[in-house]
Amino acid sequence: MKKAREYVVAVVGASGAVGEEIFRVLEECKFPVKKIVPLASERSVGKEIEFARKKYNILETTHEIFAKEGVEIAFFSAGGAVSAAYAESAAKAGAVVIDNTSHFRMEKDIPLVVPEVNPQDIAQWRKKGIISNPNCSTIQMVHILAPLHKAFGIKRVDVSTYQAASGAGKRGMEELVMQMQAFFAFKLDEVEAQVFPHRLALNVIPHIDVFMPNDYTKEEMKMINETHKIMHTNFAVSATCVRVPILRSHSESISIQFEQEVSVERARAVLADAPSVVLYDDPARHRYPMPSFVSETDQTYVGRIRADNFDKHILHLWCVADQIRVGAATNAVRIAIKWAQMQD
């Protein structure tokens, strides 16, 4: 029997929140790994990561390392500046780059992929050697929107997000924990926000990423523009993105206006069959998705599906997904799995 092909896999940002999760997801799904190449900044050189019960030294990210190590798949999760500096070197060395940052997402010749929605776009990877992983809030939203759009046609979407600290990486999570500790030590007034624009503990912040000239934040515009690119649509989308004092799962309240009248029952039937979606909608028994039990899972949970009181074309719903997994590491590994299937 032909032996399955195995790949040399690099993770740039190996010491970060998403990088560490990529190793876990690769291991859990038994991705065919020949060799792991963990990369980070020079600060992490000498530290180790564990993968499949073996220890690997973290190496410094350089332009030459990808060719030197024979990297075939390079996950980038070290921020936009690092992708801008090194992703093209990895691609030139022959690797497919799966980039978690926003750096290349809207570039014409770079596919932006959620495998449950637009797997066909992966085929364009050869143009630049790079596939972009979308924004975390966008991924979980299109898990819900794509099957509903296919079934009923969407005219307009209004979304408000409740985004966890993990979206700002390990430093964001540490800042929230530190602020909560300060609260219990009666020292909350003494903490200074560094990662977030204001104190996050006991607060919500309607400001993620920078403000744009149209008064939306960049995060909000990412949700709009990326949804259009992934779904190949241009229906109206409006977003309000809010940071909440939660460690690692994003929640979203979504209102959807359809081209036709859609009942709650029909929408439920579609979502019950949607890939990577769990319908968890039994309000009478207080069952609806929450970060407390959705964290560390690989599905987008949806509930609170209800009809608008005034317009039969509109439904409202609530979805929650683990930002580090569904919104980053798991989607990236799912892209790698589809890409590898195309190479066979």
Positions in the binding site for ligand A2P (CB under 6 A): 12-17, 19, 40-41, 43-44, 61, 78-79, 82, 169-171
In whole angstroms, the minimum distance from the beta carbon of 240 to ligand A2P comes to 24
Is the Cβ–Cβ distance between 221 and 212 less than 8 Å? yes
12 labelled binding-site residue? no
Q: Per the residue annotation, which of 103, 241, 250, 319 is the catalytic one?
A: 250
In whole angstroms, the minimum distance from the beta carbon of 204 to ligand A2P comes to 22
The two structure tokens encoding residue 167: 């979206």
Is 250 labeled as catalytic in the residue annotation? yes
Residue nearer to ligand A2P on the CB measure, 15 or 135: 15
243 labelled binding-site residue? yes
Residue nearer to ligand A2P on the CB measure, 239 or 328: 328
43 labelled binding-site residue? yes
| Chain residue at closest Cβ approach to ligand A2P | 16
Residue nearer to ligand A2P on the CB measure, 332 or 340: 332
17 labelled binding-site residue? yes
Is the Cβ–Cβ distance between 83 and 64 less than 8 Å? no
In whole angstroms, the minimum distance from the beta carbon of 63 to ligand A2P comes to 11
Is the Cβ–Cβ distance between 18 and 329 less than 8 Å? yes
What is the three-class DSSP state of 129?
A: coil
Is 136 labeled as catalytic in the residue annotation? yes
Is the Cβ–Cβ distance between 195 and 172 less than 8 Å? yes
Question: Among 279, 306, 329, which residue's Cα sits nearest to residue 136?
Answer: 329
Question: Among 30, 88, 22, which residue's Cα sits nearest to residue 49?
Answer: 22
The two structure tokens encoding residue 12: 């740039």
Residue nearer to ligand A2P on the CB measure, 171 or 268: 171
120 labelled binding-site residue? no
What is the three-class DSSP state of 253?
A: strand
Q: Per the residue annotation, which of 103, 136, 143, 149 is the catalytic one?
A: 136
Alpha-carbon gap, residue 227 to 254, rounded angstroms: 14
In whole angstroms, the minimum distance from the beta carbon of 139 to ligand A2P comes to 17
Residue nearer to ligand A2P on the CB measure, 41 or 297: 41
Is the Cβ–Cβ distance between 97 and 74 less than 8 Å? yes
18 labelled binding-site residue? yes
Burial of 54 (0-12, 13-18, 19+ CB in 10 A): exposed
Number of helices (H) and strands (E), helices first, in the chain? 9, 14
Query: Where in the sequence numbering do the catalytic residues fall?
Result: 136, 250
Q: Which residues are annotated as a binding site for NADP(+)?
A: 15-18, 43-44, 166-167, 323
Binding site membership: which residues? 15-18, 43-44, 105, 163, 166-167, 243, 323
**Binding positions for substrate:** 163, 243
